[in-house]
Each structure stands twice: as structure tokens, then as C-alpha cells.
Structure 1
Amino acid sequence: MPRNHEVTTKHPLLDNKGELSEPGWSRSLLQKYDRSMIKAPKWRIKEWDYYLVLSDEFAGAFTISDDGYIGLQSVSLLTFGDKPWEHTETVLNAFPMGKINLPSSSESGITKYEDKRLQMKFEVLEGKRHITCHLENFHEGKPFDCNIYLEQPDMDSMVIATPWDKKHAFYYNQKINCMRASGYMQYDGKKYEFNPASDFGTLDWGRGVWTYDNTWHWGSGNSDIDGNTFGFNIGYGFGNTKAATENVIFYNGKAHKLDDITFHIPESSYMDPWKFTSSDGRFEMDFIPVLDRAACLDYKIIVSDQHQVFGKMSGTAILDDGTKIHVKDMMCFAEKVHNKY
């Protein structure tokens, strides 16, 4: 059965009891997030901004987050050449509980984190986003720097509001795909420059109250296909999706809603070929992994087992009007993450 209730009016995200007023999906942030309306303890609130900027040859990922009893700020550099390579550096903060002051909307404001080692800022400008970062001793004693612009014309995004099966717990999330990227990253004497004709950034903006033990699947990618912008967001495991899934195709700024997607991850290895299938037949893809950005943390109370796999996707996606889009060797990622936190 299709699960695709679309929210179309502006109103507060939470009611007076601290529960979602209207579970569903929307094309923009129609439901207003207000941290003071949350009824759960402060240490259960999770807020984050995550940017991924991706080309066929390299990528950068940037996170500023306040996850209640822990803050997690991270920078990743990935290269996909003959010998794929990645390095992630993470700064942890104890009990930020709102002190990082992430904006209540993705549509304006500045998200920033600063200490002696790391200065990172995400700024919303007119029709674009600006990412700057300087990190001392990123790897082998050498610093990392970036100065990146992402174009954001008037276009649809994917917004989801789902409850967890626990009182006062909810997931409010926006994915903005297909933002053309320019600017550069710099590390170890090498400059990695983004080309807006072919390279894109994605924003994963999230606010909510999570349950403790969760496993999710998420995949995302963007490309230019014959002069048309194409992107997708697929995933599950983020709360109760009875009202709506977060599966969407983006084509020239418009969102095309999908039903259920299944990730077929080989048991043999994350680096073996994957498949993606859809309940409505509108997203059928093969995926050839290039790099597994694997991370496993086990602090007993806080456990994280992550596999963010970058690779090339080929197959077909079908728009709302039946138009078939042929995808060939599109660089993207898909992940499976298990967290206790």
C-alpha cells in the first residue's frame, strides 16, 4: 500500500503534548521545528547538519552535530582513484545539550563550530550555501582546508516527519539534493576543485528525539544526465514510516515520490555488487562499490557500526509521468548504520 501522505500547509511540527502534529513528507520545511516544544529530556535530543560534496574522483563530508550527551564534529576526505582512500577526523564534545546552537531551520542562519583545532562554518546565503573549514592535524600532522559553494535555486527537497514507537520521540529530516558545487578542498599540497557542471552537494539536515538502538539504510546521489539535474534519496529505519517513506527522485528541481525501496546488500562483503529494488518498480539499480568508509566505535553505552559505501550506480528510475531515466555509472553512496546512542 502506498505510504505517501504529503504535508502541504505550514504549522508547528509538534503539538502541545510534544508529539508530531502531522506525520508525512513535504517538499520544503513547512512544519516549524521549535526545540522548546520538545517534551523529552535534553540529552535525548539530536540535531545535525551534514554536507556531502561529491565528484567522480573525490568527495568531502562535513558534520556539525549536537546529539544531547555528545557532540560529534567530523571532516572526511575521500578519493576514488586507482587506490581508493579515505580519512575521517572526529572531534567529540561531552554534554553539549543545545549549547552548539544549531539553527531551528535549514533555510537561514549560520551553523558553526570552533575550537583551537577545528573551525567549521555552514552559512546560508542568497540562492546558495557556503562551507568553510580549517582543521589542524587532519592526517599525518597536515591540515585540511576547504572553501565550497553549493548553488540552491528554488527547487523541491525531501522533508520527512516520522514518529518513533515511543512517546515524545520523532524524526524530522530534510535532504536537499542536486546543489551544484564549486570551490575546493586542500590537503597535503593538493587542491581538489569541484566543477559545477558535474559535481554536486547534498545536505542532510536533521532534528529530533531518537530511540536508543537503531539500524538504518540510506542512499543518495546526484548527477547531470544530458543537461538535466537528476538525484535520488532512498532509505528506511528512521522511525515509523506508516505515513510516508523518504524515497524520492529529483529531476530538474521537482520531487517524484517513490514507495518502498529495498537494499540488497551481499552477505559476503560490503564491497561485492549490491542491488536496489522498489515496490512500485520505479527504482531498479545495480551498484558497484568502490570504497567502504567503515567505522566501528564501541564505548559500551555508545556503539556505532557504520558502512558508508561509495560506488557507481546503473539502472532505471521512472518519474511520476512515466518518463524513464537511464542511469549509467553514477557516483553515489549507500550505507547501513547501526547505532546505540
Structure 2
Amino acid sequence: MNIETEIKFPIQLCKKNGDLNLDSIGWSRQPMHRCNLSRKWLRKKRWNYWAVYDDEFLASFTISDIDYAGVIFCYFWDRKSNTFDEATLITPFGSGCRMGQMVDNDAVFESKSGKSGRLHFSRTEEGYHLEVFFNRKNSAPIQASIDVVVPMNWESLNVVIPFSRSRFQFTEKLFGVTARGTVQAGDVRHTFRENQSFAVLDFGRGAWPYSSKWNWANMSARVGKKKEIVGVNLGAGWTDGTGYTENGILVDGRLYKIPTDMVFEFDIKNPMRPWKIFSKDSKAIELTLTPEYHRHAVSNLGIIASGVHQMLGRFDGIIRVGRNEYAIEGASGWAEDHVARW
């Protein structure tokens, strides 16, 4: 089991030459890192990914700048009708993307003409606001106006993963928070309501190796008679051998860091079969994801290629924090297997 350093004061991610500031390696309960990326030509990756979901619907919006290109994408899944829709826009060298160094900074994409669309993720007094207009040639635009509510002192999982001095990643995973607002695309319209929904932010800033592979799982649920909010963020593959993980348990806004690695057991030839996800050196996590929808996204632009199997479904199992056990039954969430050349 790893011993991980908790960062408690603001710190810069990088040195002046663009390499990793070794003093920044660690994790924190609130975002402490200024992600002052520089140099590292074509290796810098920046993204703000949001997912908002309840028992009937999931919507996701992403602004990303991967140095070669800006990659903007939106998708939604209507669980009742099993309707899925997705749209992606790629711009050269991140054109139209404005993304800050801090988690609280606005993230904006706006096309040159304004016709392709605009996404604006902004910090507010109560949390975040997501405003989305994503135009498409052959179908109705995807539109959303959503407020994410983050309670005071709510903790998130923030961690620096050191691949090497020149290759590294900072990530914040904010989860277990709620949201209200609407998503619409043509005749499909859904309203998210507070205390019935959850929102997840995946904020990433780093300098990555060209070839990467990772697994990621996230879920939250209201558990027991007290309706305690219990959630997990779990990862594997990309953190292996670094001495750090992106694994954590959240209970009513309090984060419990898991230093042990996770195991993702699934059938890549038939990913709709149940996924087993468990902690390698402890009994903290014993979960099964039963997939309901398989989002299989593949892109190949020559030097850039990506393939993701994202399984949307329901989790069952046990989460343990100290002497407390939380029974998870039919909790909405996802797990994914992702391979990238970027």
C-alpha cells in the first residue's frame, strides 16, 4: 500500500522550465494546485468534463484542448427509451478554447462564426453553471442550462500523478454534488432536479506520454434511511507504478483517500457483461457494475487516435470506510476502458 502526501497549501504544478514541481506531488481535499503548464509542445492536455445524471437520464459536456486540437463533445442517454445521441467538434490546435490554470476558472469554447456552438462552464456562488449550445448540421442542436450545487466545505479528490519529471497529470474529481436544470435536443427534453440528481466534474491538466491507457469508474448514491450521499471515484492503468492513485470514497462531502490500486475485471470482447471492480490490497471496494448501455466511441485522425468503451449502468456491492459498511444497490454510474494515442 502506498503512503501518499496530503497537500494542504496552494502550490504550482510546474517549474519554470515546464517540468513537474516535485513538491506538488500529492493529493488534497480541495484544489490547491495552479496548473501553470508551459513548453512540452504537443504533450499538454487540458480538459473540463461534466456529467449530470439521475435515474432516468445522463448528459455530458466536455471542452478539451490536447495541443494538437480542440475536441468538444456532448452526449446524452435517455434510460427510459434507451435513446443515445452524441456530437463532436474538432478544431485545429485548440482554436476557440479558453481554459484557465485553476479549477475555479471559467472554461469556454466558442466557434469562430458562433454558428457551431458555445459551451461555457463558470463558477458561481453556489457551485457551477453549465451553459451549452451545440449546433449540428443534420439534427437538432444540443442545448443545456444547468446549475451544479456544491455545499460549503464539500471535499473533492485532487491528485498529481507523476509519470516522470516531464510527464505528469493533475486531476480534480468533484462528485456527489447535485444539479438542477434542463437538457434539450429536438423532441428530447429532460429536467434535472436537486436531491434527485448528481453531477461530476473531471478537471484535467497535464503533460502526457504519447500512448496511454486507463480505466475509470464513478458513481454516487443516497444510501440507507438517512439518505447519506456515498460515492466513489476509481481508476487504474494510467496510475500504475507512480506511487499515487485517483481512488477515493466520499461520504456526505467528506473524502476518504484510498492509496491502494484498483482492479477492473471485465470482458473486453463482451463489455456488456458485468464488471467487477475492487480494491487490490483491502476490502474498501467490492462493486459490480451491470451495464445497461455501451458507449463505444472511436476516432482515428492519424497521429491522434482514441477508443473508449464507456459502460453506463448500475452498481451493486459494498463500500467500507473504517468500521462502516455501505450497501450499494442499483446506483447509477459508469466505468470505462480507454486507449489513446495523443
TM-score (norm 1): 0.92
Does the aligned pair in 1 maintain the 2:97–2:110 contact within 8 Å? no
Does the aligned pair in 1 maintain the 2:235–2:247 contact within 8 Å? yes
Counterpart of 2:324?
323
Matches within 5 A, 1:156-305: 156-165=155-164, 167-226=165-224, 227-239=227-239, 242-258=242-258, 259-278=260-279, 279-305=281-307
Does the aligned pair in 2 maintain the 1:304–1:338 contact within 8 Å? yes
Counterpart of 1:114?
110
Q: Deviations over 1:87-128 (max 9, x none)?
A: 21001011128x622011112x32111121211111100121
- CA gap of 1:307–1:216, structure 2 versus 1, over 3 A, is same
**In the alignment, is residue 338 of structure 1 matched against residue 334 of structure 2?**
no
- What is the total number of aligned residue pairs between the two structures? 332
Matches within 5 A, 1:15-26: 15-17=15-17, 18-22=19-23, 23-26=25-28
Point out the more displaced range, 243-252 or 199-208. 243-252
4+ long deviations beyond 4 Å: none
Return the match for 1:86 from 75, 84, 87: 84
Does the aligned pair in 2 maintain the 1:12–1:21 contact within 8 Å? no
Output the amino acid matched with 2:308: Q
**DSSP-derived class of the 2:87 partner:** strand
Give how far 1:16 is off.
4.1
C-alpha distance in structure 1 between counterparts of 2:3 and 2:236, whole Å: 13
Does the aligned pair in 2 maintain the 1:304–1:337 contact within 8 Å? yes
Does the aligned pair in 1 maintain the 2:236–2:264 contact within 8 Å? no
Counterpart of 1:102?
99
C-alpha distance in structure 2 between counterparts of 1:147 and 1:80, whole Å: 20
**In the alignment, is residue 51 of structure 1 matched against residue 47 of structure 2?**
no
Give how far 1:267 is off.
4.1
Give how far 1:212 is off.
0.5
Output the amino acid matched with 2:233: N
Counterpart of 1:134?
133
C-alpha distance in structure 1 between counterparts of 2:179 and 2:290, whole Å: 24
Does the aligned pair in 2 maintain the 1:164–1:240 contact within 8 Å? no
Give how far 1:297 is off.
1.4
Does the aligned pair in 1 maintain the 2:287–2:316 contact within 8 Å? yes
Give how far 1:241 is off.
5.2
Matches within 5 A, 1:29-68: 29-35=31-37, 38-41=38-41, 43-68=42-67
**DSSP-derived class of the 2:289 partner:** strand
Does the aligned pair in 2 maintain the 1:73–1:92 contact within 8 Å? yes
Q: Deviations over 1:215-244 (max 9, x none)?
A: 100011122224211111000233455332
C-alpha distance in structure 2 between counterparts of 1:148 and 1:235, whole Å: 27
Percent identical residues? 24
- CA gap of 1:197–1:68, structure 2 versus 1, over 3 A, is same
Does the aligned pair in 2 maintain the 1:131–1:147 contact within 8 Å? yes
Give how far 1:21 is off.
2.2
Could you say what the CA RMSD is over the residues aligned between the two structures, in angstroms?
A: 1.7
**DSSP-derived class of the 1:142 partner:** coil
Point out the more displaced range, 111-120 or 63-72. 111-120
- CA gap of 1:193–1:241, structure 2 versus 1, over 3 A, is farther
Output the amino acid matched with 1:114: E
Give how far 1:11 is off.
2.1
- CA gap of 1:135–1:268, structure 2 versus 1, over 3 A, is closer
TM-score (norm 2): 0.92
Unaligned runs of 5+ in 2: none
